[in-house]
Amino acid sequence: MSTFIKGLEGVVVAQSQLSYIDGQAGQLIYRGYHIHDLATHSSFEEVAYLLWNGRLPTRAELDDLKHQLALNRQLPNGLLAILRSFPTTAAPMAALRTAVSAAAMFDPEAEDVSLEASRRKAIRLTAQIPTIVAAYERLRRGEEPILPREDLDQAANYLYMQTGQVPDPENARALDRYFILLADHGMNASTFAARVTTGTLADMHSAITSAIATLKGPLHGGANQKAMEMLLEIGQPDKVDDYIKRALAEKRRIMGFGHRVYKTEDPRATVLRRMSKELCEKMGATKWYEISRRIEELVTTEKKIYPNVDFYSASVLYVLGIPVDLFTPMFACSRIVGWTAHVLEQLADNRLIRPRAEYVGPKDLTYVPIDERG
């Protein structure tokens, strides 16, 4: 048995070819390509192909993947009926978790854990999750879901399904870049959950349900919503100093900061900070960027911890018109690619993931009949 390490900090639990993180240098690489290059030159669909297949696609291969995604966006009627039954007050991540679990019952290959079927389900789930999120958003507002379009890419189609308007191309490109940045990230908690589930040879929908349930937590994917709630509570740039100094004095967690692996700036935050500045200026909402920058100055100075992917995501998603409690579902719309890529990698060379626990409880106690207990 190895020594107990709380939170598995630094423990290597798998070998993977999907993404490489250098926490000291602040580097992230997907299948050999630096995240900055991909965020600049690539698209979410191309990154999905790269993560699933290990190389960049030819144009024909990319067009075929886009076609596959477009064909699989519509939800089965039975699944939409289940979405309609949800209370409008349900937490969106609870709605997404439940809907993905239910989606298995309408997928003819749900119980087929072969690599070939799992690859097809990876595409179907990547296509369906944005539709589930947008449909739930409209239903809870008392509006009819908007059917997905086949002529728009993933990001543009999500914004269309949420608003009914074909989005400004710059806004669609911003969401596309957000999706690129969040697509995969090594053995983060939700990916680990997906791999543990796959390790028992449970199906893809079970693994993704585990992952969504795990992402929901505020220490993980739920931090982007909490970060935006903090920006809204602060409200104005001149209120930042009092708020942050009080929060730090009260030992509160500043959501969107710190990371288990990055001990310098998260390279995704570098890109998202620039995107936040550009988008906030374009939308005439520079205060969200200014508040964020001041928070960053104070927290990095006082605590020597840096913004992670969830901090500047907050202002980016907010000015793109995403409702604040849909921020973590947006994270899931991207990370579904990484989760499914890890499921496929686990399946290809599987061994049950079953660690040990160090027992620190009592031993050799004598059983006392209930009538003789104090």
Binding mask 143-182 for ligand SDX (x = CB under 6 A): ----------------------------------------
CB of 257 to ligand SDX, least distance (A): 4
Residue 243 in contact with ligand SDX, rule: CB under 6 A? no
- Which residue's beta carbon is nearest to the bound ligand SDX? 258
Q: Applying CB under 6 A, which of residues 82, 254, 298, 332 lies at the interface with ligand SDX? A: 254
CB 269, min distance to ligand SDX, A: 10
**Identity of the residue, 205 or 259, whose beta carbon is nearer to ligand SDX in the bound complex:** 259
C-beta closer to ligand SDX: residue 127 or 255: 255
Q: Is 310 a catalytic residue?
A: yes
Chain residues 318-357 in contact with ligand SDX, contact rule CB under 6 A: none
Of the residues 107, 176, 310, 342, which is catalytic?
310
Q: Binding segment for ligand SDX among 100-108, 170-178, 220-228, 238-246 (CB under 6 A)?
A: 220-228
Instruction: Kindly state whether residue 128 participates in binding ligand SDX, applying the rule CB under 6 A.
Output: no
Q: Determine which residue in the list 177, 216, 259, 342 makes contact with ligand SDX, applying CB under 6 A.
A: 259
Does 308 participate in binding ligand SDX (rule CB under 6 A)? yes
User: Is the Cβ of residue 113 or residue 299 nearer to ligand SDX in the bound state?
Assistant: 299
- Residue 322's region, left for phi above 0, alpha for psi from -120 to 50, else beta, is beta
- Measured from the CB atom, the residue of 136 and 262 that comes closer to ligand SDX is 262
136 or 257: CB nearest ligand SDX: 257
192 binds ligand SDX (CB under 6 A): no
Candidates 203, 220, 266, 342; catalytic one: 220
- SS3 readout for the chain: CCCCCHHHCCCCCCCCCCEEEECCCCEEEECCEEHHHHHHHCCHHHHHHHHHHCCCCCHHHHHHHHHHHHHCCCCCHHHHHHHHHCCCCCCHHHHHHHHHHHHHHHCCCCCCCCHHHHHHHHHHHHHHHHHHHHHHHHHHCCCCCCCCCCCCCHHHHHHHHHHCCCCCHHHHHHHHHHHHHHCCCCCCHHHHHHHHHHHCCCCHHHHHHHHHHHHCCCCCCCHHHHHHHHHHHHCCHHHHHHHHHHHHHCCCCCCCECCCCCCCCCHHHHHHHHHHHHHHHHCCCHHHHHHHHHHHHHHHHHHCCCECHHHHHHHHHHHCCCCHHHHHHHHHHHHHHHHHHHHHHHHHCCCCCCCCCCCCCCCCCCCCCHHHCC
Q: Which stretch binds ligand SDX (CB under 6 A): 84-92, 125-133, 248-256, 277-285?
A: 248-256
Contacts of 296 (CB under 8 A, 6+ apart): 273, 307, 311
Told to check if 220 binds ligand SDX by CB under 6 A, we report yes
Catalytic residues: 220, 259, 310
Q: Where along the sequence are the contacts to ligand SDX (CB under 6 A)?
A: 7, 185, 188, 219-221, 223, 253-260, 303, 305, 308-310
